[in-house]
Amino acid sequence: MNLLAILALLSSVAGAADVASTDLSVDDIVRRLVEMDKVRASMLRGYIAERQYVAENRKFSKHAEVSVQESFAPPDQKELKVIAEDGSPLVRRKVIDKLIEAELDSVRHENRDQTHITPENYSFRLSGIAQVDGYTCFVLEVTPKSAKKYLMRGQIWVAQDDFAIVRMEGNPAKNPSIWTKQVRFVRRYEKHGPFWLPASVESESEIVVAGTSTLEVRYSGYRIETRGEPPAGGRNAREPR
């Protein structure tokens, strides 16, 4: 299936409910979000991307950076290969390496469902409409139905035009450690052709003894392969703003 066919199918699915956006209930929005996620997932064969981790502890003036190449094939084939690292070895081992391990753990069969924004995992409340990165979005408050480690509590911004998550903000449903008092994160997504993929993550943690630590992850260089097409190679399907 070529890119034009994918876009046509996505447009037909997104437009199936011929109703004004303001007339949609929160249940309608969530249902469309889940439907569109499934359609996009069925069309994605995989991708390769680069990411840059930057972690800093202000109290002890510790800083570290790690560059990683990611290879992903749905639903659970993920490889994160470190290609460069610099800065504090302690921060790299205790912060960035642990994050990489957690991400690989999150795609395993027993944990994968926790990463999905679905009615099985969350209760939803529509709190308004907002503009995010040029997209008109529904703003939904999400409350986890259980305190599992890969669920979150906070807000999501869902694009009205194709029912994709543009932004997430909140904190983990389960505290990651007895030494961590609070974690707050913001995750942003970008549209690459028909697909919405991570663009950045920013988080701040309050840790007992160590004080405030920050982490930033930037994603770039997506090379995307869709089902029915040859490998994308160096072609980037990113859609211009």
Domain map of the chain by residue range?
A: 3-226
Its sign, for the CA torsion 114, 33, 36, 220, is negative
- The owner of tokens 């800093």 is 56
The strand pair at 135-144 and 180-192 is best described as unpaired
Q: What is the pLDDT of residues 175-227, one digit of tens each?
A: 766 556 678 999 999 999 999 999 999 999 886 556 788 999 999 999 999 98
pLDDT, residue 239, reads 40
Cα separation, 44 vs 151, whole angstroms: 24
Residue ranges for the chain with pLDDT beneath 50: 3-7, 16-20, 230-241
CA 55, chain centre distance (Å): 19
The number of beta carbons lying within 10 Å of the beta carbon of residue 131 is 10
Cα separation, 49 vs 202, whole angstroms: 18
Longest dimension (CA), the chain: 56
Cα separation, 205 vs 58, whole angstroms: 11
CA nearest neighbour of 196 among 2, 1, 12, 14: 14
Backbone angles phi, psi at 10, to 5 degrees: -60, -40
CA nearest neighbour of 203 among 230, 218, 183: 183
Question: Per DSSP, what are the bridge partners of residue 158?
Answer: 138, 165
Q: Which two tokens mark 211?
A: 């004080």
pLDDT, residue 94, reads 81
**Which residue type, as a one-letter code, is found at position 51?**
R
pTM of the model: 0.83
Cα separation, 37 vs 31, whole angstroms: 10
Backbone angles phi, psi at 206, to 5 degrees: -100, 115
pLDDT, residue 142, reads 98
Q: Which CATH class is domain 3-226?
A: mainly beta
